[in-house]
Amino acid sequence: AQSVAQPEDQVNVAEGNPLTVKCTYSVSGNPYLFWYVQYPNRGLQFLLKYITGDNLVKGSYGFEAEFNKSQTSFHLKKPSALVSDSALYFCAVRVSGGSYIPTFGRGTSLIVHP
């Protein structure tokens, strides 16, 4: 079984401040972890993924995510938020070697204030 939780429905941050969007997961085995972003009235866009190796993954638009195996977390981060980062963010997980279909979290709305 695989599951993912995004504990915050909404995250508010001021422009220029660092941002973190949280994600925790549960899988039986080694995880593949993904972050997607959805801008208003658009489809989901792939941001980054963790496969194995380096715990810090860098992705598009200056985003990065930190894999923490002991805490089963994969938090999305950005050092300096932009108003244009305001969107809905989804975390997803699938188990390595298992079903290729990922399980998505419910999404976190990120609002960056000017």
Binding-site ranges for other proteins (CB under 8 A) = 9, 32, 34, 36, 41-46, 49, 51, 90, 94, 96, 100-102, 104-107
CB neighbour burial string for 23-37, b if at least 16 within 10 angstroms, e if fewer: bbbebeeebbbbbbb
Query: Could you tell me the smallest distance in angstroms from the CB atom of residue 1 to other proteins?
Result: 13
Q: Minimum distance from CB of 67 to other proteins (Å)? A: 14
> Cβ 108 to other proteins, closest distance in Å?
10
Q: Of the two residues 87 and 107, which places its CB atom closer to other proteins in the complex?
A: 107
Q: How far apart are CA 59 and CA 76, in angstroms?
A: 10
DSSP state of 61: G
Closest by alpha carbon to 78, among 5, 26, 11? Answer: 11
Nearer to other proteins, 53 or 114 (CB): 53
